Amino acid sequence: MELIIPKNYKPKLNINKIEIAIKLIKDNFERDLSSELRLYRVTAPLFLLKGMGINDDLTGNEKPVTFHINDYNGTSAEIVQSLAKWKRLALADYKIKPGYGIYTDMNAIRPYESIDNTHSIYVDQWDWEKVITPEDRNIVFLKEIVSKIYSVMKRVEFIVYEHYPNINPILPDQIEFIHSQDLLNTYPDLSPQERENKIARKFGAVFIIGIGAKLSDGKPHDIRAPDYDDWTTETEQGYKGLNGDIIVWNPVLEKAFEISSMGIRVDKTALLEQLTLTKTEDKKQLYFHKRLLNDELPLSIGGGIGQSRLCMFYLRTAHIGEVQVSVWPEEMKINCKNNNIFLL
Question: 3-state class of 186 per DSSP?
Answer: helix
Closest CA to 125 of 162, 84, 175, 173: 84
What amino acid positions are annotated as catalytic residues? 56, 110, 125, 245, 258, 261
Dump the DSSP string for 134-184: GGG-SHHHHHHHHHHHHHHHHHHHHHHHHH-TTS-----SS-EEEEHHHHH
pLDDT of residue 339: 94
Q: Read off the pLDDT of residues 186-218 as tens digits, 9 standing for 90 and up.
A: 999 999 999 999 999 999 999 999 999 999 999
> pTM score, two decimals?
0.94
**pLDDT at 1 (0 to 100):** 63
Distance from C-alpha of 166 to C-alpha of 16, rounded to nearest angstrom: 16
The kind and range of the H/E element at 106 are strand 101-109
CA distance 175 to 168: 18
pLDDT by residue (tens digit) across 134-191?
999 999 999 999 999 999 999 999 999 999 999 999 999 999 999 999 999 999 999 9
Domains of the chain: 15-337 (3.30.930.10)
More confident residue, 63 or 256: 256
Q: Amino acid letter at 212?
A: G
Tell me what the mean pLDDT of segment 23-36 comes to.
Answer: 97
Q: What percent of the chain has pLDDT over 70?
A: 99
